[in-house]
Amino acid sequence: MTRTDQPGAALRTRTGEPRDRPAAGARGRVPVPLLVPALVGLAFLLLPLVALLVRAPWHSLPEQLGSSHVWEALRLSLLTATAATAVSLLLGVPLAWLLARTDFPGRGVVRALVTLPLVLPPVVGGVALLLAFGRNGVVGQWLDAWFGITLPFTTTGVVVAEAFVAMPFLVISVEGTLRAADPRYEEAATTLGASRLTAFRRVTLPLIAPGVAAGAVLAWARALGEFGATITFAGNFPGRTQTMPLAVYLALQSDPAAAMVLSLVLLAVSVAVLAALRDRWLTTP
């Protein structure tokens, strides 16, 4: 039997590489019809960010960052984004487990509804929150009558709006991690006498911790940058509901330099989020 007659030999080249795997040099050759629009798309995405860096008032940056207005908006944004992420973790992780580990009628519909805020216009989400939790809302009227709780145009309302738009990011991340995790570890724990809750807390959570962390970071970043639902449901009151995106919008009309400084801060936060997620999503095999 010759070398080429051996089983599997026809699937390999002379260098021993599989024929369906392009050589290193072939991977580097990009067709011009693809290269040109790819470069245009890259420039389209990077040009606004470069323009922000070029036009930023670097000479007055220390003075702008020392403004109480900037730090007030930054403090409120960090506080509400962190609280919204905590709410998303408290409610989103069990919801992701329900979607990934159980089978019930209408699960696909429930998953679609959970991800709906991802594609829903934020202003529409704010209107929906008003109709649900406003003083005359479906739930809000009872919160006001029974407990004296009013959510719209309050700091708590900001947290609610941010959690509404941010939670789907966490649910998707955690559900994907749960589907990739081997459920036999949970089954083994329950076989040894652990309850389902104990198995989830002691076995499942450590297994999916990277996915939970990544989802939490994404949810936090999304909450930090939320604008439409926040301004519709919570308003734009300095010190109470004016987060950084709202402060950027307001400052752009009266103080463009402050708007650019706030934008730079948000850009720095976004870069930090990408750096935190680099090892999970941005590496190439």
In angstroms, the CA 32 to CA 220 distance is: 40
Which tokens in the block code for residue 17?
């590489």
Is 22 among the domain residues? no
pLDDT of res. 86:
96
Is 249 among the domain residues? yes
Is 268 among the domain residues? yes
Residue 168 has pLDDT above 50, yes or no: yes
**139 vs 67 pLDDT, higher one:** 139
Q: What is the CATH number of the domain that holds 140?
A: 1.10.3720.10
Domain ranges, residue 165: 87-278
In angstroms, the CA 73 to CA 131 distance is: 27
**242 vs 253 pLDDT, higher one:** 242
Is 51 among the domain residues? no
pLDDT of res. 10:
45
Which tokens in the block code for residue 128?
């929906």
Tell me what the mean pLDDT of segment 165-184 comes to: 89
**22 vs 128 pLDDT, higher one:** 128
Query: Sorting pLDDT into bands at 50, 70 and 90, what band is 4?
Result: very low
Is 26 among the domain residues? no
In this predicted model, what pLDDT tens digit does every residue of 201-220 receive, in sequence order? Answer: 788 888 888 889 889 988 99
Closest by CA to 61, choosing from 277, 192, 257, is 257
pTM of the model: 0.79
Tell me what the mean pLDDT of segment 248-256 comes to: 83
Tell me what the mean pLDDT of segment 54-68 comes to: 77
Three-class secondary structure of residue 18 per DSSP: strand
Q: Are 96 and 170 in contact (CB under 8 A)?
A: yes
In this predicted model, what pLDDT tens digit does every residue of 190-204 receive, in sequence order? Answer: 788 777 778 877 888
Number of structural domains (the chain) is 1
Is 228 among the domain residues? yes
In this predicted model, what pLDDT tens digit does every residue of 11-28 receive, in sequence order? Answer: 454 445 555 555 555 556
Is 206 among the domain residues? yes
Is 231 among the domain residues? yes
